[in-house]
Amino acid sequence: MINHDVDIAIIGGGPAGLAAAYSARNQGAKNVIVVDRNDWLGGILPQCIHDGFGVEETGHSMTGPEYAEMYIDRVNKMGISCMTGTMVLEFTKNYNIIAINKQGLHKISTKAIILAMGCREKTRWHVMIPGDRPSGIFTAGVAQAFINLYNIMPGKNVVVLGSGDVGLIMARRLKFEGAHVLGVVEILPFASGLPRNVVQCLDDYDIPLYLNYTITCIKGRNRLESVTIAQVDDTLHIIEGTEQEIPCDTLLLSLGLIPENELSKTVGIELDERTGGPIVDQHFETTIRGVFACGNCLQVYDTVDVLSLGAKQAGQHAASYALNQFDQVRHSIPVKTLNGIRYIVPQRISRSGVIQFAFRVERPSQSAVFHLKANGKDIFQKKLPWVNPANMVEIKVELSDSLLKSVDHLEASLDG
């Protein structure tokens, strides 16, 4: 077994892992190591050849590969070790990581761990679409890799199920490449992706968006031949008589993302059933001391810029913990979500100060008011002129030490 002794170990070498490593090193952690199972750094970014990355963070629009290269260069210049092609098998509560690669088995002893494993796509079996099992059915991310990395067209006549951002971007990408994109089918009454992507990827290219529709049947012996779509009511049940069959040879699935947390489960980190990610405090520390989480394994972010900014904060706090600079006072006040809010991060508050909350709403609204309550009384409220489930909302609230000591939980809700 090959032994490594470091200050901070980061599991995952995507944008979150690289940003956290860079930030931790800047904060004073001398020995930082990044471990990733892929043979490359940057996670999914190398296949995201469209621009728009980095605008919020740097003021310049970059493609995914360019954005990844920016952080890879920073990490390399700071002398941060990166182990690619390395699978983490487990880690323990006393900060030992067991990993394996072509060189053999590795034991990484560290003072703090940052989880940055990213997320994975939902498949057909997550929504149980009935019908045949032909070829020609891909997740949107797999189709993106086929086109952008391997120069392979997945098909010619395409239907997209789900209006997530990758699905919207791939609808446009396939149209660029000459495919007939017959429509994007969404079961909800609103698009799941960012409004700007609906406009730039669908409206600008006359690609139909079928809201309140879903696929009820897949037909095809060897290759996909057609899908049947039908309208749904307010309870998401099929409305009989609305079925229509669409001949196609390709179905892309953009059904949402699942934070990757199999390692988190095995060590006993408490997960949020709504986000699928670890429950954390305002310093991104999980329910195990010294283990931090960031990026899409914590919650699915809208943009890589916001993801990286959060990962940098996680890196700073992990470095402070590893260097014994962490404030040990912990109140651990849970934050509960009530009507109007799907989830909120952080889910608990361990120390007083200015807290940055990130949350998603349950439904679109033109006018809403965010409330944070303690003992049933408002301690903070803010008017929001427009909210949408596709857009993560961030709000800063200052909480005093005396307040946290006087309550057993906080409540977040939305009116409107």
Summarised one tens digit per residue, pLDDT across range 348-392 is 999 899 999 999 999 999 999 999 999 889 999 999 999 999 999
Q: Model confidence at 120, in pLDDT bands (50, 70, 90)?
A: very high
Residue 328 clears pLDDT 70, i.e. is over it: no
**pLDDT, tens digit (0-9, with 9 covering 90-100), for 176-189:** 999 999 999 999 99
The CA-based diameter of the chain, rounded to the nearest angstrom, is 67
Could you give the CA distance from residue 293 to residue 275 in angstroms, rounded to a whole number?
A: 13
Q: Model confidence at 331, in pLDDT bands (50, 70, 90)?
A: low
> What average pLDDT score do residues 333-356 get?
95
> What average pLDDT score do residues 102-127 get?
96
**pLDDT, tens digit (0-9, with 9 covering 90-100), for 138-178:** 999 999 999 999 999 999 999 999 999 999 999 999 999 99
- DSSP codes, 83-115: E-S-EEEEE-TTSEEEEEETTEEEEEE-SEEEE
DSSP reduced 3-state for 173: helix
Q: If residue 230 lies in a helix (H) or strand (E), which one and from where to where? A: strand 226-231
Could you give the CA distance from residue 412 to residue 372 in angstroms, rounded to a whole number?
A: 5
All domains in the chain, ordered by first residue: 2-120+258-326 (3.50.50.60), 123-255 (3.50.50.60), 335-415 (2.60.40)
Which pLDDT belongs to residue 51? 93
> What average pLDDT score do residues 214-237 get?
97
Q: Do the beta carbons of residue 180 and residue 204 sit within 8 Å? A: no
Average pLDDT, the chain: 96
Nearest Cα neighbor of 205 from 253, 248, 173, 158 is 173
Could you give the CA distance from residue 384 to residue 255 in angstroms, rounded to a whole number?
A: 28
